[in-house]
Structures are given as structure tokens and as C-alpha cells.
Amino acid sequence: MIWIPEFKAFISRRLSLLVLATSFLCSDNSISCSAETAPLVEAKRGMVVSVNPEASDAGLQVLQAGGNAVDAAVTVALSLAVTFPEAGNIGGGGFMMVWPGSASGTAASSDPVCIEYRETCPAAISRDSFINEHRQEGHHTVGVPGTIRGLALAHQKFGTRPWAELVAPAIHLAKEGFPIDAALASGLNKLLTQANEFPEFRRVYGKPDGTTWKKGDRLTQPDLAGTLSILAADGPDAFYKGAIAQKIVDEMKANGGAIASEDLAGYRAHIRSPVHTTYRGYDIYAPPPPSAGGTQLIECLNILEQYDLAKLGSKSSRAAHLIAEAMRRAGCDRVRYQGDPAFTQIPPALVTKEHAKQVSQDLRLDQATRSEDLAKDIKLSDEPPSTTHFSIADGNGMAVSNTYTLQNSYGSRVVVRGAGFLLNNEMTDFNWQLGVTTRAGRVGTEPNVMAPGKRMLSSQCPTLVARDGKLLLVTGSPGGRTIPSTVLCVIVNLLDFGMSLRDAVDAPRWHHQWFPDRLQFEHLGDPEFAQQIIELREMKHDFGNDVKKLGDGYRRQGDAHSILIRDGLLKGAADWRRTQGKAAGLP
């Protein structure tokens, strides 16, 4: 058993000192650290960067106790299911990229792999089941969860510590509780005022005395502790064939949901080969379909490699224009071609340099392409219309880049009765109405329509960047359709614009997804970027009237918890856009 509270307090004190000491290191390049950002943490023997301090610390303790990056990933993922219920989960799915590493530094002993644990469509659902459906939450929106099978597969292939030991910290957090932060307090309060139709959600996440949650209150989850204890004792099969499976099926039967015991028993996670390209001499590895995110990222990089972004500079309108045009083209190809590869033939050429050249032929340097002009084959109409990432590196060269999700924040809002965990609403990631693709962004193309046993298309894009066989960057982000754009921005900021990791994560981000034909910029309205935006408007980029300020800042795109590895030093940058995440390093 590795969970020792006294030891945790000791490590926390050590880490606070380390954080203080390293906070001076983050001003090494062009964009200075604002009060809103997190410190850059440096360490040699291990790094865990996630959205939640308790989860980062739990992962760090696994590394401290001799576990590797995959062992720590199992603990972080299960801990986030307790401490970050918005997206951390056991009732959802995701993608884990693993850099296997070797005993001698960061040179890979074997190729990186993608553990794919995306949810699937239950057998009872067919392509037209949702044609007249509009509700985005509830039992009908739940896909067969993949997280536990995914974590178990990663553990079986790479893990070194006993499964039960890795589940233990999450049990402790659920049983003893943890102090909630302001973001969780306000998220729960908001949901609790709306969740009348989800009584189990209210019972599990409501404050016991009936008042509203405040920062610092303690959230305990005894039912979830029970579920995790079963998982620790009986192993992952408990979720798919045993006591937990039975609770999920009972929950579905009682409320008109579609998941049956055969769906759970038949669920498989897969080990897949990542999609790959080279970008200015660096190797980029990202998840293959059923995530579209990796292919979109690689298509963007292949397009951008044809231009000298470094010479243009990060604040030039021409560089932003090229980034937007690359995103637009990759977004269009996603809609046209991508879906579950078991059900749809995706052209392998999408990730090639030749394809990038071909789709760039009509890219003008001085003017935005109209999204409509890219896909005359897709019929368009005018009908109106949460995830989390963590990065881990151990001291022996192994690393994990993991993104997983419940889809919306708090998923379907369905908490499995008596089991204390939320189920996803990932069925909303399928194209519900074949043939209805709108200028507002709704997609109705064939490759991602529902079918029994099919995986819904994802945008998740946990990414690994290497140079000469050595791992350089571990990154990824939540944010739905903006995910590959966020990852692209981090990579381009680092590799083209020469930013430090801290600045690459903090710099304002761009997003374009084909339709809506609109360029999003995090700092729209910020006088610092006014000239760039004027010039982009002159090139006919449409920003809409979307000058949204959130709180004291601007709109937030993603949450890219990242690690940079250079000369044996691990630099961890938590992204503070969503909540005060934490980079925890083992000196």
C-alpha cells in the first residue's frame, strides 16, 4: 500500500518549496508569466502534470514508490475520476499515448503506441435511432464506457506495480474526501440547480447540509469508494462482467437506456499504431481514428511545413492566416472522411505530405478561403444549430500523454445508482442526422453515423513529439473540436516561434474547424493583438461578434498540461485556463 498521508504532507511541503524555487524560471522568453499562470516546475526523476493537485500528487507518489509512467497514469486517471468529476472518469473513454522509453534515458526502446479506449454505440441503437432526438443528456446518450478496459490494457502491457496498489489512492480520496476548489464548487452548484431530473446526481454531489458548495469544503464519495474497492479487489472485469456491470445494466433498464450486459462484456480497448509525420525534423505521434484529432493535427503540420512561420513571427497576421487555413482544410477532411476505421474506409493519404501539397493548391497568402469552396461535394444547409488531459514522464524515459472524457462536463448527468460514478454522453459525438451538414457546424456525413458496436468520432489528441529518437514534448488538451487546434498552437509556438514551454502553453490560441466559417482567437479584443486582427479581417477572416471576456480574462481554449524534456531535465507546465492544475516533479 503506497498511500501514506504523512508522507503525502511531507512531499507536498517539499513540492511547495520546489514550486517556489522554480517559479523564477518561467520568464525565459518572449511572453512573461502573468499572475494567472502556473509556475514551470523542473525535475529529473519524474513529472506529473494534471488539472488537479491531489491527482498530480497521487501520481507522483507512484513514481516515488518505483512505479513507471503508466503505473502513475492509472492512478492519476482514477484519482481524477474522484477529484475532477467534470471530466475525470471511469464511465467515459479516451486515448492514451505511451512512449515506452528505455532504461538509458529518453531514447525509445520500441515505437510509441496508442491505447484506444473510446466508447462504443450499444447494440440496440441503429443509425436512425436519434433522428428526432434533441436531448443531449440522459440515459440514451451513454456510450459503452472504455476507461477501465483502457487503463487495464495499458497496465497489462506496461505496468510494473500491482493493480490494487494503483487504485488505492483513488479509494482514499473518495472515502476521506478532499477540499474542493472554486471551479468545482461553482460547477456543482450550477448543475445542482438544474439537475432535477437526475436525483442520483443530486444525492451524490449535493452538499449534505443542503447549502451551496464553497471553495475548501470537503467532498466525500462513499459509493464511489465502494466501486473503486471492488475494482481493486476483483480487477477490471468487475466493471464489464461483474458487480459494477450489473449496476450499470440495472440503471439502464430502469431508465430506458440502451446498454445491455452483452455490450459491456463485449467491450474491448485496442492497442493501435499512432498516426505519424515529421515536422521540421521532429517526429510527431498522435492518436489514429476513431479520433480525428491526430489526423487533423498531422494534416495541419504537413500544410504548415511548406511555409516559414518562424520568419513571419508569432504576432504576424500572415502566420495566423496560414494556421487558420491549415485548420480549415483539416477540419473539412475530418467531416468528409473520418469515422471508426472498423466501419469506414479512411484514405491513408490524409497524413501524407503529398495530400498537404494538394489541399494547399488553392491556399492564397493574402485571402481567406471560403469554407464552402472546399467541399462542393458536401451538401450544406442553413439550419440553426469536458474532457481532461494529463502528461506524465518518469525518470527512465517512459512517458504517457492521456486525454479522456465524459463528453460534456459531467457527461450524461447519469450517476449509476449506488455506484457513485457518472456516465458519459458520448453518443452525442455521432452524426445524428445523415445528410444534414450545416453552415452552423452541425455534421451529417456518412463516416460518423451511428451503428451498433461502432466508435463515435473523437477530437482527442494526446501527442508526443520526439527528435532523433528522443522524446521532447508530451502534450494534449480538452476542448472538443478545438483540441487539435490547441495542440497545434502549442507545437508551433515551441518549434516555430521558439517560445519556452511556459509561453507556448500560455500564448493565446487560434481555432478554425471549417464550419462555422469563423476564426476563433482567445484574445479577441485584446489591444495587444489589435493590428493582427485588423489585418486578418482585411484578408476576409470572419471573427463574428464573439468578443467574449470570461471573468477577468478572455475566452479560454483548452487546458494543455504539458512536459518538455531536454538534456534529462523534465519541465512541467500546468495550464491554468480551467482550474489551478499542478505540475508535480520528483527532483
Catalytic residues: 387
What are the distances in angstroms from CA 536 to CA 417, 434, 516? Answer: 52, 34, 17
Q: Which is nearer to ligand DON, 406 or 519 (CB)?
A: 406
Burial class (CB in 10 A: 0-12, 13-18, 19+), 392: buried
Q: Which is nearer to ligand DON, 427 or 491 (CB)?
A: 427
Residue 168 Cβ, how far from ligand DON at the closest point, in Å?
28
How is 304-348 classified by DSSP, letter by letter? HTTS-HHHH-TT-HHHHHHHHHHHHHHHHHHHHH-S-TTTS---G
Q: Which is nearer to ligand DON, 112 or 411 (CB)?
A: 411
Q: Which is nearer to ligand DON, 106 or 391 (CB)?
A: 391
Please state, in angstroms and rounded to a whole number, the distance separating the CA atoms of residues 259 and 16.
45
Beta carbons of 410 and 580 less than 8 angstroms apart: no
User: How many other β-carbons are positioned within 10 Å of the β-carbon of residue 489?
Assistant: 27
Distance of CA 440 to the CA centre of its chain: 24
Q: Which is nearer to ligand DON, 317 or 428 (CB)?
A: 428
Residue 23 Cβ, how far from ligand DON at the closest point, in Å?
28
Q: Which is nearer to ligand DON, 51 or 62 (CB)?
A: 51
Please state, in angstroms and rounded to a whole number, the distance separating the CA atoms of residues 446 and 433.
9
Residue 343 Cβ, how far from ligand DON at the closest point, in Å?
17
Beta carbons of 519 and 512 less than 8 angstroms apart: yes
Residue 536 Cβ, how far from ligand DON at the closest point, in Å?
25
Residue 274 Cβ, how far from ligand DON at the closest point, in Å?
16
In the bound state, the residue with its beta carbon closest to ligand DON is 387
440's CB contacts (< 8 A; 6+ apart) are 382, 383, 384, 385, 515, 516
Q: Which is nearer to ligand DON, 302 or 407 (CB)?
A: 407
Please state, in angstroms and rounded to a whole number, the distance separating the CA atoms of residues 319 and 341.
33
359's CB contacts (< 8 A; 6+ apart) are 299, 303, 329, 333
Residue 316 Cβ, how far from ligand DON at the closest point, in Å?
29
- Structural element, H or E, at residue 219: strand 218-219
Residue 469 Cβ, how far from ligand DON at the closest point, in Å?
30
Q: Residue 144 carries which DSSP code?
A: B
Q: Which is nearer to ligand DON, 165 or 429 (CB)?
A: 429
Please state, in angstroms and rounded to a whole number, the distance separating the CA atoms of residues 250 and 262.
13
Q: Which is nearer to ligand DON, 79 or 387 (CB)?
A: 387
How is 340-390 classified by DSSP, letter by letter? -TTTS---GGGGSHHHHHHHHTT--SSSPPPHHHH-TTS-EE-----EEEE
574, amino acid identity: A
Please state, in angstroms and rounded to a whole number, the distance separating the CA atoms of residues 513 and 438.
13
* Alpha-helical runs (H) found in 446-552: 483-495, 501-506, 530-538
Please state, in angstroms and rounded to a whole number, the distance separating the CA atoms of residues 570 and 47.
7
Distance of CA 20 to the CA centre of its chain: 28
Between vectors from CA 523 to CA 519 and to CA 529, what angle results, nearest 5°?
A: 95
Give me the residues paired with residue 455 across strands: 120
Task: Tally DSSP H helices, then E strands, for the chain.
Answer: 19, 20
Q: Report, in angstroms and rounded to the nearest whole number, the Rg of the chain calculated over CA atoms.
A: 22
Between vectors from CA 241 to CA 240 and to CA 243, what angle results, nearest 5°?
A: 95
Burial class (CB in 10 A: 0-12, 13-18, 19+), 410: buried
Residue 293 Cβ, how far from ligand DON at the closest point, in Å?
7
Residue 344 Cβ, how far from ligand DON at the closest point, in Å?
16
Positions touching ligand DON (CB under 6 A) are 386-387, 405, 407, 429, 458-460, 478-480, 483
Q: Which is nearer to ligand DON, 405 or 475 (CB)?
A: 405
Residue 482 Cβ, how far from ligand DON at the closest point, in Å?
8
